[in-house]
């Protein structure tokens, strides 16, 4: 039911993925969405996400999360899609300080910089989710010439953190991007909604979740050390704080 689609290569520095949840739910179930440092825009064409917040065909923006989001699906047909922006990527489309959206779900006005009313008019009447994805992809491509330029220092900082799985020292980071630690934190929060330290912790958490899946025969202590935690206790605290789950439960 859930699938992800890569955007056009010219958009990948701004958009991480398009995702789709499309199918019939035979019995109610819940899923936990973990923090990933990204901002999402969700469109619900089936009005069956279990929260009662999304309105058919209208967009909702999910700000950068610092704790898990629980979603319950009820019996019936689900037809949802999302645009997951790369960390800091949404600043190409809007000058709203992203920290104002952190851990917030807000309805996206039709006059927001990202879209216009005509864009939304066509989406509900389209025959398939793949048709909608292609339409959104081409829409973003047509907007490239008029987008804001994301802060290059912050984009570089994000890339260093991600390449090092969240283990890049903040002091070294500020030096490498030629900003003081205070300037770095202010600009980073404006672009991503969270501080460099929070983003680093979320990045390490995400890396560790993937690492757990591929190292199922390793001890939890060894995994903790391999993923940059001081010990098992340190990793457990981070998992509880960011995912409301223990590593062994996730394991």
* Domain end residue (candidates: 97, 112, 146): 146
Same domain, 100 and 157: no
Total-model pTM: 0.90
The CATH code of the domain that includes 31 is 2.60.120
51 and 125: one domain? yes
The span from the CA of 76 to the CA of 59, in Å, is 21
Give the pLDDT mean for 109-137.
Answer: 78
Same domain, 79 and 96: yes
Enclosing domain of residue 55: 2-146
Residues 9 and 41 in one domain: yes
Beta-ladder partners of 69:
33
pLDDT at 203: 98
pLDDT tens, position by position, 149-177: 999 999 999 999 999 999 999 999 999 99
Closest CA to 133 of 37, 3, 31: 3
156/45 same-domain check: no
Q: How far apart are CA 22 and CA 126, in angstroms?
A: 14
The DSSP call for residue 17 is: E
Q: What pLDDT does 54 receive?
A: 39
140-174 core/surface letters (b: 16 or more CB in 10 A; e: else): beebeeeeeebbebbbebbebbbebbbebebeebb
Average per-residue pLDDT for the chain:
88
State the CATH number of the domain containing residue 178: 1.10.10.60
Number of domains observed in the structure of the chain = 2
Residue 107, helix vs strand vs coil = strand
Q: Compute the distance between CA of residue 32 and CA of residue 20 in angstroms, rounded to an integer.
A: 16
- List, for residues 15-56, the tens digit of each pLDDT value: 999 999 888 888 888 888 899 999 999 888 875 444 444 344
What's the alpha-carbon Rg for the chain, to the nearest Å? Answer: 19
112 with 156, same domain? no
Q: Which two tokens stand for residue 20?
A: 């789709």
User: For residue range 68-107, what is the model confidence (pLDDT) as tens digits?
Assistant: 988 877 788 888 899 999 999 999 988 889 999 999 988 7
Contact between residue 161 and residue 200 where contact means Cβ atoms under 8 Å apart: yes
133, 37: one domain: yes
Is residue 126 domain-shared with residue 62, that is, in the same domain?
Answer: yes
* Residue 22 shares a structural domain with residue 96: yes
């Amino acid at each position: 039911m859930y699938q992800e689609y890569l955007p056009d290569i010219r958009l990948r520095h701004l958009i991480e993925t398009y995702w789709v949840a499309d199918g019939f739910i035979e019995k109610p179930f819940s899923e936990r969405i973990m923090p990933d440092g990204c901002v999402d825009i969700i469109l619900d064409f089936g009005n069956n996400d279990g929260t009662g917040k999304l309105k058919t065909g209208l967009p909702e923006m999910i700000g950068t999360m610092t704790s898990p989001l629980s979603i319950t699906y009820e019996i019936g047909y689900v037809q949802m899609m999302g645009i997951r922006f790369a960390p800091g990527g949404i600043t190409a489309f809007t000058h709203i300080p992203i920290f104002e959206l952190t851990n917030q779900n807000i309805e996206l006005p039709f006059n927001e910089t990202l879209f216009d009313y005509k864009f939304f008019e066509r989406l509900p009447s389209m025959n398939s989710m793949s048709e909608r994805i292609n339409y959104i992809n081409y829409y973003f491509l047509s907007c490239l010439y008029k987008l804001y330029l994301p802060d290059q220092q912050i984009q570089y900082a994000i890339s260093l953190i991600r390449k090092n799985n969240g283990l890049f020292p903040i002091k070294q980071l500020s030096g490498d991007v030629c900003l003081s630690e205070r300037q770095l934190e202010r600009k980073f929060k404006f672009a991503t909604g969270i501080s460099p330290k929070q983003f680093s912790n979320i990045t390490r958490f995400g890396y560790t979740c993937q690492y757990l899946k591929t190292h199922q025969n390793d001890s939890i202590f060894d995994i903790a050390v391999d993923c940059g935690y001081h010990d098992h206790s340190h990793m457990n605290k981070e998992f509880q704080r960011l995912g409301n789950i223990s590593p062994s439960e996730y394991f």
